[in-house]
């Protein structure tokens, strides 16, 4: 598997070229009713790698007022069936498409109402335009909120992991020979453990369709993380023995590491 860091290195020149075209596009927009423009998605992240179906450069545009006419500013939406404003244009005789998420300005109180992938997408973005540095200033408040929320999420998520694979729930399903349910509960606990890796590495969680992938490039990980995950993902869902194999591995190599990191984080905050 080519992890995120490897993909960023591979695509560096291509993504850099796209960013240059995007900056040129943004520079030419009429911005009277625009407060902030963010480069988001895989071009901002650095791993943009379009396949045979192509792709768009993702932008987040924060407007000053609700009656914003996207067609006037960006041109006609070429894919009205999806919830973004999509356009194609030529820059230096090169065709490039943009998928534009148009929304009101994101103050910290609004940011707090987003789901985690929504928060993640905002914070992985890069500022391309920000009149009077308004969003840059708001980011300092958002970062303060993030620090508080991630600590809370970590504590609550570890508690839920321990509940899911604790004696009470396990005994309930063992008495019923409900091995499929036991494996399902354990798989959910593993997914929650992956979420905890985001919190420990200072991030909200990514969308489900890429949740695990990004963790392989995190700085803080359990020892032999990729090997461990391969062993955890192998399962015989009708086997009691295999459930206990997976559970023992998860608790000894993953959950114990998470709990140790949680203690470190709490100690730092107390100091």
Question: What share of residues in the chain are helix, strand, coil (percent, to 5)?
Answer: 60, 15, 30
Question: In this predicted structure, what is the pLDDT of residue 157?
Answer: 98
Please check the confidence at residue 248 and state whether its pLDDT lies above 80: yes
Residue 104's SS3 state is strand
How high is the pLDDT of residue 189?
Answer: 98
pLDDT tens per residue, range 36-57: 999 999 999 999 999 888 899 9
Task: Give the model's confidence band at 271: pLDDT under 50 very low, under 70 low, under 90 confident, else very high.
Answer: very low
**How many CB atoms are located within 10 Å of the residue 225 CB?**
17
**pTM (whole model) above 0.75:** yes
Residue-level pLDDT at 268? 67
Q: Using the predicted structure, report yes or no on whether residue 13 has a pLDDT greater than 80.
A: yes
Provide the pLDDT for residue 33. Answer: 96
Q: What is the pLDDT of residue 269?
A: 61
The model's pLDDT over 62-104, given as tens digits with 9 standing for 90+, comes to 999 888 999 999 999 999 999 999 999 999 999 999 999 999 9
- At residue 139 the predicted structure's pLDDT band, cuts being 50, 70 and 90, is very high
Q: Please compute the mean of the pLDDT values over residues 128-155 and round it to a whole number.
A: 97
Q: Is pLDDT above 50 for 156?
A: yes
Name the residue with higher pLDDT: 271 or 98: 98
Q: Is the pLDDT of residue 266 over 90?
A: no
Question: Quick check: 194 and 212 in contact, CB under 8 A?
Answer: yes
Q: What is the rounded average pLDDT of the residues 3-8?
A: 96
Q: Considering only CA atoms, which of 200, 252, 260 is closest in space to residue 228? A: 252
Residue 270 clears pLDDT 60, i.e. is over it:
no
Say if residues 193 and 258 touch (Cβ distance below 8 Å). Answer: yes
Biggest CA–CA distance in the chain, Å, is: 69
Cβ proximity of 54 and 97 under 8 Å: yes
């Amino acid at each position: 598997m080519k992890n995120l860091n490897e993909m960023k290195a591979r695509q560096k020149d291509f993504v850099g070229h796209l960013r240059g075209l995007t900056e040129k596009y943004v520079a030419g927009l009429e911005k009277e009713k625009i407060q902030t423009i963010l480069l988001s998605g895989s071009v901002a992240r650095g791993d943009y790698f379009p396949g045979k179906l192509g792709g768009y450069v993702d932008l987040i545009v924060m407007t000053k007022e609700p009656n914003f006419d996207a067609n006037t500013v960006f041109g006609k939406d070429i894919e009205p069936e999806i919830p973004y404003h999509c356009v194609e244009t030529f820059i230096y005789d090169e065709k490039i498409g943009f998928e534009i998420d148009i929304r009101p300005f994101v103050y910290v109180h609004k940011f707090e109402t987003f789901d985690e992938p929504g928060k993640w997408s905002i914070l992985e973005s890069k500022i391309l335009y920000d009149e009077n540095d308004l969003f840059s200033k708001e980011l300092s408040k958002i970062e303060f909120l993030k620090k508080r929320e991630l600590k809370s999420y970590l504590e609550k998520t570890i508690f839920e992991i321990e509940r899911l694979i604790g004696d009470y729930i396990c005994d309930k399903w063992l008495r019923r020979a409900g091995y499929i349910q036991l494996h399902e509960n354990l798989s959910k606990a593993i997914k929650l453990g992956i979420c905890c890796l985001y919190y420990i590495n200072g991030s909200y969680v990514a969308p489900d369709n890429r949740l695990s992938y990004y963790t392989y490039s995190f700085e803080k990980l359990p020892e032999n993380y990729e090997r461990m995950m391969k062993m955890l993902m192998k399962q015989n869902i009708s086997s009691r023995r295999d459930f206990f194999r997976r559970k023992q591995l998860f608790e000894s190599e993953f959950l114990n590491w998470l709990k140790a990191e949680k203690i470190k984080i709490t100690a730092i905050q107390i100091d």
